Structure 1
Amino acid sequence: MLVVFNFFLYENPIIHWARDHRTHHKFTETDADPHDPRRGLFFAHMGWAMLKKKREVLEKGRGIDQSDLHADPILKWQERYYMWFMPLGTFILPTVVPMYFWNETLTNAYCVNILRYLVCLHMHGLVNSVAHTYGDRPYDKFIGPADGFSVSALTLGEGLHNFHHTFPWDYRSAELGVFCFNFTKSCIDFFAMIGWAYDLKATTQDMIRARAARTGDGSSKHVWGWGDRDQTAEDHKGTVIIN
């Protein structure tokens, strides 16, 4: 299902996307970061996708462990046939379907689809640019990624980036659920409920509280006494707790 969805938004095969994301996490804000925010807001937002990758990015990217993804036959199949099916999902079907079922004109159907594509790309870009520049740093004030509720709302839960980079193993990508528009977490929780997702990893509240007290900028919601109102990691059946 995720492979099919990936065909509807041209952002490279899942294996390639994951390699860049893992490289970004391991070498954040260094010369090996694919979308290094130190090179400016525009570069982090979209400029990096318009230029050839720096030598450092390529070298470090080749050293990233991708054995788990390469062992998945579905992902390998997608990587092999991506440029065959991606144009169909990203450009052709979203244009033809409105024309056939709703009598839309070719011009309108094509332009609205391109608008959809651009909006999705820019929402994703906000995570690399704005979420690495503006916002609070309640868990680690010594790194660039920041928490911003506006970006989280626009990206359905991906904007609380200080948490994500401080605790990158946490599937929730945020400490708070309903308070940060985390629709992505809700989807994963639903998939876990029906058995499609498993071995979810989350951080304990004690660990979050201790880290915020040690390296945070003081903006943690625990300061105001309501950080525990969201569902804790222990509430997730089958969750693997990282201590």
Structure 2
Amino acid sequence: MAPNIFPKEGCVENDNDTSDKSNKILNISGSMTNGRLNDTELSKNVIEDTYKTSSEYKMHIRWFNVFIFLYLHISAIYGLYLLYTDAKWSTYAFTHVLMTFSGFGVTAGAHRLWAHKAYKARLPLRILLMIAHTTAHQNSLYAWVRDHRIHHKFTDTDADPYNAKRGFFFSHIGWLMVHKHHLVIEKGNVIDMDDMKQDPVVMFQKKYFIPLMILFCFFLPTFIPMYFFNESFIVAFHTATLFRYVWMLNSTWSVNSAAHIWGMKPFNKISSSAENGYVAFFALGEGWHNYHHAFPWDYKTGELGKYGLNWSTAFIDFFAKIGWAYDLKTVSEEVIRNRALKTGDGSHEFCKQEKKLDNCKQNMDYNHNINSNNNDKSIDNLIWGWDDPSISIQDKLSAVILKKEKNI
């Protein structure tokens, strides 16, 4: 996931660190159509190039960002103390409600709706999710989606904004404290974003992001407890605003870090993404990450996790019932079974139930030599979501679509 909180740093065209003389610049002209990434061959070329240059990358620290994050986290710790010592019960409840609301703006909104096109939403729901996402303040929807699509298209390479191969700290928060790798910038300039440009809600937020962010993320969360609950400024600002804000930042970041390090890999043992129930709990259902990278168009982002560990799915299902969400895309049990048997680590129940663990391990031990010409499933599956031009016809045809659009 892509929580860059600094608007300027979130836009690749504004990043000054656009080249590294010691690195090889990738020639992608032969793999583009209309300036967009559009095929599997490009994914293969990028993987080959980024693995070659990875060790040469030198990170340049953005000290302003470092100090901002240090201040935010110290203030959030103080806010946590105030929440349990000085804050009124109404402020305590408001903080947690707002925390969940803003979280849905990231999970059900920026992530599942806009980044992966896993379902469709009518205008009222898109506006609600835009406000929730702005309250979470993880940069504009446009920048968030762009970075996240790059992450899925080039996972675990130098083109991945929060490359987990660089360690927990980098993938959690460190990537926001350094200049972007030039490949992240290059891919951000050519990844397909036409759908976002055509969404008036997204472009409205992008145009007025600064005043909207100040209003929804900082002013209203502080003002409401002060005006309605007679809370002091110090308590309101440090609890409902800063603690709530930093908590959701770290919940989102944990998907990039913890869910790419710890957990089982029942669908793709090669990917760094993993199934992590702890992350799912704190990130409103986003922790079933190995599944998500295998099937990024599934609106549930996971096979496991009922509503108790996937509140975002419950949120989407509720709005589907009232007609605000529709065309919910998911994956059939047969497709899940075949993927687990073919490329998983043998931990899936399908392997155990059918007593084919040894067979699973043999099937998943496919060639991961990036220089080979084999049709490697790990490369074929490097897509960002439903409308990625590289998604296979088979995946589209086998998808299960719930709550299909009706004219209302």
Relative to the length of structure 2, the TM-score reads 0.55
Structure 1 gap segments, 5+ residues each: 226-232
- Runs of 4+ aligned structure 1 residues displaced above 2 Å come to 221-225, 233-239
Amino acid at match of 2:129: L
Counterpart of 2:208 in structure 1 is 81
Counterpart of 1:174 in structure 2 is 302
SS of equivalent residue, structure 1 residue 8: helix
Counting only pairs closer than 5 Å after superposition, residues 190-209 of structure 1 correspond to structure 2 as 190-209=318-337
Contact 2:288 2:304 in 1 (8 A): no
> Which of the numbers 156, 162, 167 marks the counterpart of 1:40?
167
> Which of the numbers 53, 63, 76 marks the counterpart of 2:190?
63
Do structure 1's residue 222 and structure 2's residue 350 form an aligned pair? yes
TM-aligned CA distance change 1:213 to 1:138, over 3 Å: same
Cα distance in 2 for residues equivalent to 1:149 and 1:224: 20
Do structure 1's residue 72 and structure 2's residue 199 form an aligned pair? yes
> Which of the numbers 133, 136, 139 marks the counterpart of 2:261?
133
SS of equivalent residue, structure 2 residue 273: coil
Amino acid at match of 2:227: Y
Do structure 1's residue 99 and structure 2's residue 265 form an aligned pair? no
TM-aligned CA distance change 1:238 to 1:86, over 3 Å: same
Q: Aligned-pair distance for 1:179?
A: 7.4
Q: Aligned-pair distance for 1:223?
A: 4.0
TM-aligned CA distance change 1:102 to 1:179, over 3 Å: closer
Counterpart of 2:136 in structure 1 is 9
Counterpart of 1:54 in structure 2 is 181
Larger radius of gyration: 2
Q: Aligned-pair distance for 1:238?
A: 2.7
Counterpart of 2:274 in structure 1 is 146
Counterpart of 1:229 in structure 2 is none
Relative to the length of structure 1, the TM-score reads 0.91
**What do residues 124-148 of structure 1 show as CA deviations (whole Å, max 9, x unaligned)?**
0100000001100011111100001
What RMSD, in angstroms, separates the aligned Cα atoms of the two structures? 1.7
Contact 1:45 1:129 in 2 (8 A): yes
TM-aligned CA distance change 1:174 to 1:102, over 3 Å: same
Greater RCO (CA < 8 Å, at least 6 residues apart): 2
Counterpart of 1:30 in structure 2 is 157
Q: How many residues align?
A: 232
Cα distance in 2 for residues equivalent to 1:93 and 1:224: 52
TM-aligned CA distance change 1:235 to 1:90, over 3 Å: closer
**What do residues 133-172 of structure 1 show as CA deviations (whole Å, max 9, x unaligned)?**
1100011111100001111111111001000001111111
Contact 1:152 1:180 in 2 (8 A): no
Q: Aligned-pair distance for 1:224?
A: 5.3
Contact 1:149 1:180 in 2 (8 A): no
Do structure 1's residue 238 and structure 2's residue 366 form an aligned pair? no
Structure 2 gap segments, 5+ residues each: 1-127, 354-398
TM-aligned CA distance change 1:61 to 1:180, over 3 Å: farther
Q: Aligned-pair distance for 1:203?
A: 1.1
Contact 2:266 2:345 in 1 (8 A): yes
Cα distance in 2 for residues equivalent to 1:53 and 1:33: 10
Cα distance in 2 for residues equivalent to 1:177 and 1:128: 19
**Among the aligned pairs, what percent are the same residue?**
45
Contact 2:161 2:175 in 1 (8 A): yes
Q: Aligned-pair distance for 1:100?
A: 0.9
Contact 1:177 1:185 in 2 (8 A): no
